[in-house]
């Protein structure tokens, strides 16, 4: 009788655990669906109203700050300079976010053309103009300064070069174009929203393509890597930081791989939140489209998932996929 009692107690514990897991997943699905619906509504207003953007977008977001934009550009540009003696002439940023600050830093470094590609417009003209003025002031201070730290622009460029980049007429032209960044006749700045509906960029005309935590939001990664290969000149480069985590759709950083296709549609409210592609997908696509990785950094986190907890389509993920939460790479097209 005592053995039967112990067995019954164990079964109750197992059933209780299953109940807790199911309940927790139900809560995640419900919470995710509501957040997804709110996110979709907010994106609609953000994309169509400058007033909505000023109200709904927090000015404290990193991309609304010139310092952040400068530092992101320096990461891309610093690795570019390890392979090239020049400045990239034509630069694309995929997913500029709350400002065009990264591309403006590229122009102030000597690039002659910057394309900002987005699906949704998150920035306002006033934000871009403020950040541009702040960046101009920063670049001007770097001339003849004693700051030779690795993350400073004059560590990479001469004073003579910076003075040419900051000539009054050039600065005024860039600033004027910032007031009409969608104008296809612009010389320096082109913002294309949405960018994927038709061809805007000629093949083999771009030197550097970069992004920061954006590629995880691209639904068709094969299309994206194929485009980057086509846009780049021979020897052109790509520089990307990719966030491979669940984006708060699960309590676990890699819990997004436990959802079936139907569950994922529910937990994201039916919007294309992230593509759920693991690190191996990016590495395979780099190889497929003839990119050679020059610099790479993989961020890892502990995997607490069992294979049996993974959704069917993710059961064959490699161990590197289950432990890689982030990736940065700088690659060159051959």
**Is the per-residue pLDDT at 46 higher than 80?**
no
SS (H, E, C) the chain: CHHHHHHHHHHHHHHHHHHHHHHHHHHHHHHHHHHHHHHHHHHHHHHHCHHHHHHHCCCCCHHHCHHHHHHHHHHHHHHHHHHCCCCCCEEEEECCCCCCHHHHHHHHHCCCEEEEECCCCCCCHHHHHHHHHHHHHHHHHHCCCCCCCCCCHHHCCCHHHHHHHCCHHHHHHHHHHHCCCCCCCCCCEEEECCCCCCCCCCCCCEEEEEEECCHHHCCCHHHHHHHHHHHEEEEEEEEEEEECCCCCCCCCCCHHHHCCHHHHHHHCCCCCCCCCCCHHHHHHHHHHCCEEEEEEEEEECCCCCCHHHCCHHHCCCCHHHHHEEEEEEEEEEC
**Is the per-residue pLDDT at 89 higher than 80?**
yes
Q: Are strands 232-243 and 206-212 parallel, antiparallel or unpaired?
A: parallel
**Least confident residue range of 30-39, 233-242, 252-261, 275-284:** 30-39
Task: Please tell me the predicted confidence (pLDDT) of residue 8.
Answer: 53
- pLDDT band of 254, cuts 50, 70, 90: very high
Task: Please tell me the predicted confidence (pLDDT) of residue 291.
Answer: 98
Task: Please tell me the predicted confidence (pLDDT) of residue 248.
Answer: 87
d(CA 96, CA 87): 20
Task: Please tell me the predicted confidence (pLDDT) of residue 122.
Answer: 78
Task: Please tell me the predicted confidence (pLDDT) of residue 44.
Answer: 57
Higher pLDDT, 55 or 86: 86
Provide mean pLDDT across the span 18-46: 62
Task: Provide, rounded to the nearest whole percent, the portion of the chain with pLDDT above 90.
Answer: 68
**Is the per-residue pLDDT at 4 higher than 90?**
no
Provide mean pLDDT across the span 238-245: 98
- pLDDT band of 83, cuts 50, 70, 90: very high
**Is the per-residue pLDDT at 16 higher than 60?**
no
Provide mean pLDDT across the span 182-205: 89
**Is the per-residue pLDDT at 274 higher than 80?**
yes
Task: Give the CATH class of 21-27+33-333.
Answer: alpha beta
d(CA 89, CA 111): 4
| Mean of pLDDT over the chain | 87
**Least confident residue range of 196-200, 224-228, 255-259, 319-323:** 196-200
- pLDDT band of 51, cuts 50, 70, 90: low
Task: Please tell me the predicted confidence (pLDDT) of residue 47.
Answer: 60
Higher pLDDT, 198 or 66: 66
- pLDDT band of 307, cuts 50, 70, 90: very high
How deeply is 238 buried, as exposed, middle or buried, from its count of CB atoms within 10 A (0-12, 13-18, 19+)? buried
**Is the per-residue pLDDT at 15 higher than 60?**
no
d(CA 136, CA 159): 14
CA separation, residue 241 to residues 56, 123, 329 (Å):
26, 21, 7
Task: Please tell me the predicted confidence (pLDDT) of residue 14.
Answer: 41
Task: Please tell me the predicted confidence (pLDDT) of residue 53.
Answer: 58
- pLDDT band of 20, cuts 50, 70, 90: very low
Express each pLDDT in 115-150 by its tens digit.
999 988 878 899 999 999 999 999 999 887 876 666
> Using alpha carbons only, how large is the chain's radius of gyration in Å?
23
Task: Please tell me the predicted confidence (pLDDT) of residue 18.
Answer: 44
Task: Please tell me the predicted confidence (pLDDT) of residue 120.
Answer: 85
Cβ atoms of residues 267 and 259 within 8 Å: yes
**Least confident residue range of 56-70, 152-166, 295-309:** 56-70
- pLDDT band of 155, cuts 50, 70, 90: confident
d(CA 111, CA 182): 18
Higher pLDDT, 195 or 12: 195
């Amino acid at each position: 009788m005592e053995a039967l009692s112990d067995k019954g107690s164990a079964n109750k514990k197992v059933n209780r655990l299953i109940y807790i897991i199911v309940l927790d997943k139900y809560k995640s699905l419900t919470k995710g669906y509501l957040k997804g619906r709110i996110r979709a509504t907010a994106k609609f207003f953000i994309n169509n109203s400058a007033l909505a953007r000023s109200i709904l977008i927090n000015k404290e977001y990193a991309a609304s700050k010139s310092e952040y934009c400068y530092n992101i550009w320096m990461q891309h540009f610093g690795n570019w300079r390890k392979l090239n003696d020049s400045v990239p002439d034509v630069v694309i940023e995929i997913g500029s976010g709350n400002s065009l600050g990264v591309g403006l830093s590229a122009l102030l470094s000597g690039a002659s053309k910057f394309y900002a590609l987005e699906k949704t417009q998150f920035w306002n003209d006033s934000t871009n103009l403020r950040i541009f003025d702040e960046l101009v002031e920063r670049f001007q201070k770097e001339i003849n300064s004693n700051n030779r730290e690795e993350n400073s622009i004059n560590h990479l460029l001469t004073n003579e070069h910076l003075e040419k980049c900051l000539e009054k007429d050039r600065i005024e032209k860039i600033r004027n174009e910032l007031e009409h960044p969608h104008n296809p006749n612009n010389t320096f700045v082109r913002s294309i929203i949405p960018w994927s509906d038709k061809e805007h960029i000629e093949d083999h005309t771009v030197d550097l393509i970069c992004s920061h935590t954006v590629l995880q939001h691209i639904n068709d990664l094969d299309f994206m890597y194929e485009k980057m290969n086509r846009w780049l000149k021979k020897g052109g480069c790509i520089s990307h930081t990719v966030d491979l985590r669940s984006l708060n759709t699960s309590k676990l950083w890699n819990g997004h791989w436990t959802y079936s296709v139907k569950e994922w549609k529910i937990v994201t409210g039916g919007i294309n939140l992230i593509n759920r592609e693991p690190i191996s997908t990016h590495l395979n696509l780099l190889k497929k489209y003839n990119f050679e990785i020059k610099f790479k950094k993989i961020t890892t986190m502990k995997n607490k998932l069992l294979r049996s907890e993974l959704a069917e389509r993710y059961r064959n993920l490699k161990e590197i996929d289950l432990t890689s939460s982030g990736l940065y790479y700088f690659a060159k097209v051959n």
